[in-house]
Structure 1
Amino acid sequence: MTSRISENLVMECRRKLLTAKQDVLNRFRTAQRELVHAERGGDEADQSVAHIEEHSFLISQARMRNQLVEIEMALARIEQGTFGICEETEEVIESERLLAIPWTRLSIEGAEMREAVSRKFAR
């Protein structure tokens, strides 16, 4: 299916995905080092701040893990030849969208369809 989008676009997106993956991994390691080196002692206020920082750390780690999963899935789609095909409409995803968010699984139309469905069921 990748033949429906240019090989140059696929290679550029692959390069962007690998760069984004490395960036996420670097941010993950940096955040872990900073948390490990944070002071644990102090009074109640210091301990409260430490708990808040740890909570923020855990939330950011979860976000980074989710982004890493999306990046890995996109790289797998490149290998499988299904990269750039919308999961919702099965049409080619807009090249500008792929270049901006290379791990996307949805075209603009597909994203709008999913959002409309989620709004309908959120009521």
Structure 2
Amino acid sequence: MAKGAAKHGTEKLTDQLVKECKEKLLKTKMDLLNRVKEAREKLDLGEKGGDEADQTMRLLAEQEMLNLNDRLRSQLFEIESALGRIESGAFGMCEETEEQIEVERLRAIPWTRLSIEGAEIRESVNRRYAR
């Protein structure tokens, strides 16, 4: 790390870091796919008959599984997008500020599209328009 980078806390995006992030993305992707599979198998094991209470519990479980599936699908989309950015060479650049995303942020959340500053800007804009 260069002296200037150490002072400002902006470590350079290296090939090693990109490789590290790609491995984490692929591992997370496999974990998510396994969770989807397990949730689906768990839901399929439920009996179809029963009284109203049983049917209500089954419907609630199905709804919970659908909500989980939506969240997992959204996470998978973000991971696939990050893998695409690695392939295209755009990985690590903030969509909001067009500056490099902080290295520690990429290590923690390799699928992120925003730097800390970019996330704050986007949150501020979303809050303003949510009213």
Does the TM-score normalized on the shorter chain lie above 0.5? yes
CA radius of gyration, larger in: 2
TM-score, structure 2 normalization: 0.90
Point out which structure has higher relative CO (alpha carbons under 8 A, 6+ apart): 1
The CA RMSD over aligned residues, in Å, is 0.7
Distance 1:61 1:105 in 2: 22
Which whole-Å deviations, capped at 9, do the CAs of 1:63-97 have from their partners, x for residues lacking one?
10010000000000000000000000011101111
2:45 equivalent to 1:44:
no
Give me the identity figure in percent.
57
Q: Where do 1:3-22 residues align within 5 Å?
A: 5-22=13-30
Task: Give the letter aligned to residue 75 of structure 1.
Answer: L
Indicate the residue corresponding to 1:120 in structure 2.
128
Could you tell me which runs of 5 or more consecutive residues in structure 1 were left unpaired when the two chains were aligned. none
Q: Where do 1:1-123 residues align within 5 Å?
A: 5-123=13-131
TM-score, structure 1 normalization: 0.95
Distance 1:30 1:98 in 2: 28
Distance 2:65 2:78 in 1: 20
